Amino acid sequence: AALTELAEKSDLLTYEFENVYQDVLARVQKRTGVLVPQGVKLLTVTSNRINEKNFLRTHGLPTTDFAKVASPAELKVAVKELGFPAILKTVSGGYDGHGQWDINSEQDVKNMLEKWPKNLLAILEKRVDFVKEISVMVSRDNCDQVKLWPITENRHKNH
C-alpha cells in the first residue's frame, strides 16, 4: 500500500539495493504506470545470491565456489564438497552479516544443524581471503549517457 501511494505521487521510482520485492514492485508499476527506469528483471538476479553467482559465471566472471543448501543434509554434502572455511548465507534478504553464519569447523556444522532455521534456503560459499572490497556504482540515463561514480571501499567488522 505504501509503495502504491509513493508511486501515485511520483514520476518514477528507483532502487539502490537488492532487497526489494520485485513482485510487489512489478504489480505497483503495472497498476500505477509509474516509470521504473532500472526495470524489475535486474532484481531477479541481484536479490538471489544463487542467481547472481550463476549470472556472473555465465558471463565469464569469476566467483568463489558455492553450493545451494536447502536442508541440513545438503549442508553436510556442501561442506564435504567445499571444505572449510566457508560462510552459509541466506539466498535472499540478508545483508552486511545478517543471515550469515561462519562454517569453519565440524563443530560449526553441528551447531548449525542443531539450530537450523525453518524454511532456510541458503548458499554455502567458500571463504575467500581478500585485501579489500570495493563498490562501483554506474548509472545510465534514458539518453544512454553512462556515469561512473567514485569507487568506494567497503569496510566490514564482524562480517
In a domain, 54, yes or no: no
In a domain, 79, yes or no: yes
Residues 73 and 98 in one domain: yes
In a domain, 27, yes or no: yes
The string of pLDDT tens digits covering residues 62-102 is 999 999 999 999 999 999 999 999 999 999 987 777 889 99
User: Which 3 state secondary structure label does DSSP give 125?
Assistant: strand
**What residue spans of 2-147 are helical by DSSP H?**
2-8, 22-32, 41-46, 49-58, 72-82, 106-114
* Boundaries of domain holding 43: 1-47
Residues 37 and 90 in one domain: no
User: Which 3 state secondary structure label does DSSP give 138?
Assistant: strand
Residues 36 and 69 in one domain: no
Instruction: Count the domains in the chain.
Output: 2
The string of pLDDT tens digits covering residues 29-44 is 999 999 998 888 888 8
Which residue type occupies 7? A
C-alpha cell at 135: 563498490
The string of pLDDT tens digits covering residues 111-130 is 999 999 999 999 999 999 88
Element (H, E) at 87: strand 86-90
How do the residues of the chain divide into helix, strand and coil, expressed in percent and rounded to 5?
A: 35, 20, 45
- pLDDT of res. 159: 63
In a domain, 116, yes or no: yes
The string of pLDDT tens digits covering residues 10-64 is 999 988 888 888 899 999 999 999 999 888 888 889 899 999 999 999 999 999 9
In a domain, 77, yes or no: yes
